[in-house]
Amino acid sequence: MSSSNVVSLEPRGLSSRETAAVTLAEQNALFTAALNNMPHGLCMVDGEGRLILCNPAFGAMYRLPEMLTRRGTSRERILEYGFSTGQGPVSGVAEYLARSAEAGPGQSIVGELALADGRTVRISHTPIEGVGYVATHEDITDRVEASAKIEFLAYRDTLTGLPNRTAFQRGFDAAVEAAERQGEMFGVIMIDVDHFKDINDTLGHDAGDALLLNLAKTLSKAFRRGDTVSRLGGDEFAVVLRGLNGPEDLLRPIEVLQGLLRKPVEHSGRSFTISASLGAAIHDDPDADPLHLLKNADVALYEAKSGGRNRCVVFKPAMRTQVEQRVELLREVRLAIAQGEFDLYYQPVVDLVSNKVAGFEALMRWNHPEQGVLPPAAFMAAFEDTDLSLQLGEVAFERALGQMRAWLDEGVEFGRVAVNISSEQFRTGRLASDIADKLRAWNVPAERLAIEVTENVYMGWGADVVAETVCALHATGVQIALDDFGTGYASLANLRQFPVDRLKIDKSFVQNAEDDAIVRAVINLGASMGMKVVAEGVEKPEQLAALSAYGCDQVQGYHFAKPMPAGEVAAFVRGFGGV
C-alpha cells in the first residue's frame, strides 16, 4: 500500500459517534486491504462450522466459486465441492479435522493437506474463544518438493534411481530391529555383475551404464515392492526382504531373477546377456544374531563368484571356514608358483580315422612338496582367481611351448598340444598377441598349438573381446576347441559366432550310457558344422566302439593313457600301435 492510501485514524473535528463510525470504516478498509493482499489463504469460521469470512487467496487456493466464499457457507459444502470437482484434498483432511476439534482456545495446531493436483497446503489453525476459529492456509509445495529432492539425493542412487547404500543400511537396520523385537524373519541378497570392469573397459561407460540401468529394472521386476532393492555402488546391488515365512520366500524371487537375467539385453544394436553372481543369507534362527546377516550374504557372494560366477549361493555356516580355507589355498598357490611347483602332464588324443596319436592335452599338476602330485581339483579356486589364473596361464604356456620346442628338436611326433585357457585369460584382451609373441619366441609353429576354452567364456558382455581374440588366434593357425561341450549354456548361435575347430564332448556324457542320444547328436552337429568332434573320458572298450560307430573323430581317456609327465611322451608315441 502506498502512503497516500493509508487511512488516517486521527479524529478530524467530527462528533465522537461520527468519529467512531469513520474509525470503524477506516479500520475495516485497512483489514480488508490487508486480507486481500496477504499471500496466504485465511478463513474465519464460527462455532457451527460456517464461514464468517475468507480472503481471495483462500478462494483461489481451493478454486472456489464466489458463492462458496460467502458468509454462512458451511465447511462441509466447501469440502464437498472439492471432492465433487476432483480438486479437493486427497489426504490429511480427517487428521486435520480430528486434531482441530481437540484444540482449545488459543492453542494453535498445524495440519497438512495434499491436494489432488499435487500441491501441499499447510494450515495453521487457532480456535478463538466464543467465535470458532481462524486458520491460515499456506501453499508449501515448493518447500515439500525441495526437501523431497534433498531426500532423493541423500538416499537415492542418481543413475538408477534405486535406494543407495545409505538407504540400504537404513532398510537393513530396520529389519534387524524387527527381527530382534518381534522375531521377524528376513533375508539379504547381494548381487554382483560378473566382469563389470571389463565391460566398462572394452565396451565403454555408456554400455556399462545401460547394463546397470537394465539390471536395476530387472531387479525391480523380480522383487516385491516392499523389498529394499538398492544399488550399493559400482556394479554391486543388494536387496533386503522383510517378513519372510520361510526360505522359499527368499528362493522364489531369486529364481524369478535368474530367469529374467537369461533374457538377452539389446544395446546399440548388439545383444548381450547379463551374468551376475548372487549371495543370499536368511535370518531364520531366533537365537542367531541378525547383525551377521550382511557378512553372511557377503561370504555367500564370495562363494558364488569363486565357484565360477553366474550363480547364486545361499549362506551356510560351514562356508565361513571354506572361505578361510580358500584364502589359505590361494596364498599357498601364489607361493608355489614362485617356487616353480606347477608343471604340465600330457594326455594323448587319438584320431580314429588315421589310427594315430593326433596330439596331447596339457593338464596342470602341482608338485606339492608334502602331498605329492596334485590334480587341478585340489587348486581349482586358483583358476578362478583373477590374478592367479593369469599367472598359471603364463606357466602353462611357457611350459607347453618350451616342451614342444624340445620335442621338435628331438623329433618326437607329438602332433598338436592343446592348452586349457581360463576365462580370466580372455578378459585381458591381450591373449592373442601374447600367444603370438610366445610362439615366435619359442619358434613353435602355430599349427602345433590348440587352445581349449569352455562355453562360458563365450557368454556375457565380454563376448566381443573373446570373439576378436578367438578370430585372431584362429587366423594364425592356432586351433580352437570348445571344451566340456553340453555342460554350459552355449547356444548354437554362440557356436556360429566364433570359429570353432573342435567340439569336446564332456566326459559325463561319454561315460553315461543314458546320454547316448546326446553324444550322437553332438557328433552329428559337429560334422554338419565342419568341426572335429573329440570325446573325452573314454575308459572302456564298449565306449570306444560306440563312439567309433557314431563317427566320432577323436578320442581321449584312460583307455589309452592317463595324463603323463612330459618325459613319457616320446615312448608313448613310439609304442602306440593304434586302437
539 part of the interface to ligand C2E, by CB under 6 A: yes
Q: Which residues pair with 367 in a beta bridge?
A: 373
346 part of the interface to ligand C2E, by CB under 6 A: no
Among 68, 219, 396, 555, contact with ligand C2E (rule: CB under 6 A) = 396
Contact, 86 vs 93, CB < 8 A?
no
In degrees and rounded to multiples of 5, residue 100 shows phi and psi of: -70, -30
Query: Which C-beta is closer to ligand C2E: that of 242 or that of 507?
Result: 507
Residue 220 CB coordination number (10 Å): 14
Among 240, 484, 526, 572, contact with ligand C2E (rule: CB under 6 A) = 484
Among 110, 558, 565, 568, contact with ligand C2E (rule: CB under 6 A) = 558
Among 484, 485, 534, 560, contact with Ca ion (rule: CB under 5 A) = 484
563 part of the interface to ligand C2E, by CB under 6 A: yes
Query: How far, rounded to the nearest angstrom, does the alpha carbon of residue 413 sit from its chain's CA centroid?
Result: 50
Residue that has been written with the C-alpha cell 559325463 in this structure: 508
Reported as type and span, the H/E element at residue 192 is strand 186-193
375 part of the interface to ligand C2E, by CB under 6 A: yes
Closest approach, Cβ 366 to Ca ion, in A, equals 17
| Three-state secondary structure string covering 471-509 | HHHHHHCCEEEEEEECCCCCCHHHHHHCCCCEEEECHHH
Contact, 70 vs 56, CB < 8 A?
no
Among 168, 196, 379, 383, contact with ligand C2E (rule: CB under 6 A) = 383
Residues within window 15-34 making contact with Ca ion, judged by CB under 5 A: none
Query: Which C-beta is closer to ligand C2E: that of 241 or that of 481?
Result: 481
Taking contact as CB under 6 A, which single stretch among the options 249-257, 404-412, 420-428, 436-444 is the one that binds ligand C2E? Answer: 420-428
Query: Which C-beta is closer to ligand C2E: that of 249 or that of 394?
Result: 394
Closest approach, Cβ 335 to ligand C2E, in A, equals 18
One DSSP character per residue, 297-360 reads HHHHHHHHHHTTSSSEEE--THHHHHHHHHHHHHHHHHHHHHTT-EEEEEEEEEETTTTEEEEE
User: Which grid coordinates belong to 328?
Assistant: 589359505
Please classify residue 84 by burial: count the beta carbons closer than 10 Å to its beta carbon, then call 0-12 exposed, 13-18 middle and 19+ buried. exposed
Query: Which C-beta is closer to ligand C2E: that of 223 or that of 407?
Result: 407
Among 49, 92, 308, 376, contact with ligand C2E (rule: CB under 6 A) = 376
Residues within window 351-370 making contact with ligand C2E, judged by CB under 6 A: 363-364
Closest approach, Cβ 236 to Ca ion, in A, equals 33
Closest approach, Cβ 462 to ligand C2E, in A, equals 16
Q: Which residues pair with 43 in a beta bridge?
A: 54, 135
Q: Which residue is nearest to Ca ion (CB)?
A: 452
Taking contact as CB under 6 A, which single stretch among the options 82-90, 121-129, 197-205, 414-422 is the one that binds ligand C2E? Answer: 414-422
Taking contact as CB under 6 A, which single stretch among the options 88-96, 292-300, 373-381, 458-466 is the one that binds ligand C2E? Answer: 373-381
User: Which grid coordinates belong to 27?
Assistant: 479500520
User: Which grid coordinates belong to 300?
Assistant: 555367500
310 part of the interface to ligand C2E, by CB under 6 A: no
Residue 375 near which of ligand C2E, Ca ion, none (CB within 5-8 Å, type-dependent): ligand C2E
452 part of the interface to Ca ion, by CB under 5 A: yes
Residues within window 311-330 making contact with ligand C2E, judged by CB under 6 A: none
Query: Which C-beta is closer to Ca ion: that of 249 or that of 501?
Result: 501
Query: Which C-beta is closer to Ca ion: that of 281 or that of 453?
Result: 453
CA nearest to 193, candidates 231, 163, 241, 165? 231
d(CA 16, CA 109): 41
Contact, 199 vs 276, CB < 8 A?
no
Taking contact as CB under 5 A, which single stretch among the options 35-43, 338-346, 449-457, 527-535 is the one that binds Ca ion? Answer: 449-457
Q: Which residues pair with 555 in a beta bridge?
A: 350, 535
Closest approach, Cβ 453 to Ca ion, in A, equals 9
Taking contact as CB under 6 A, which single stretch among the options 153-161, 271-279, 316-324, 554-562 is the one that binds ligand C2E? Answer: 554-562
Residue 494 CB coordination number (10 Å): 18
d(CA 137, CA 488): 66
Query: Which C-beta is closer to ligand C2E: that of 296 or that of 347?
Result: 347
User: Which grid coordinates belong to 538?
Assistant: 573314454
Residue 494 near which of Ca ion, ligand C2E, none (CB within 5-8 Å, type-dependent): none
**Total residues contacting Ca ion (rule CB under 5 A)?**
4
Number of H helices, E strands in the chain: 21, 23
d(CA 326, CA 380): 10
**Total residues contacting ligand C2E (rule CB under 6 A)?**
23
Among 192, 385, 483, 553, contact with Ca ion (rule: CB under 5 A) = 483
Binding characters for ligand C2E, 496-535, by CB under 6 A (x = yes): -----------x----------------------------
d(CA 340, CA 366): 9
d(CA 214, CA 220): 10
Query: Which C-beta is closer to ligand C2E: that of 283 or that of 502?
Result: 502
Closest approach, Cβ 379 to ligand C2E, in A, equals 9
d(CA 22, CA 9): 9
Contact, 499 vs 470, CB < 8 A?
yes
Residue count of the chain, please give it: 579
Residue 537 near which of ligand C2E, Ca ion, none (CB within 5-8 Å, type-dependent): ligand C2E
One DSSP character per residue, 67-98 reads GGGSTT-BHHHHHHHHHHHT-SEEESHHHHHH
List residues binding Ca ion (CB under 5 A): 420, 452, 483-484
List residues binding ligand C2E (CB under 6 A): 347, 363-364, 375-377, 383, 396, 420-422, 452, 483-484, 507, 536-539, 556-558, 563
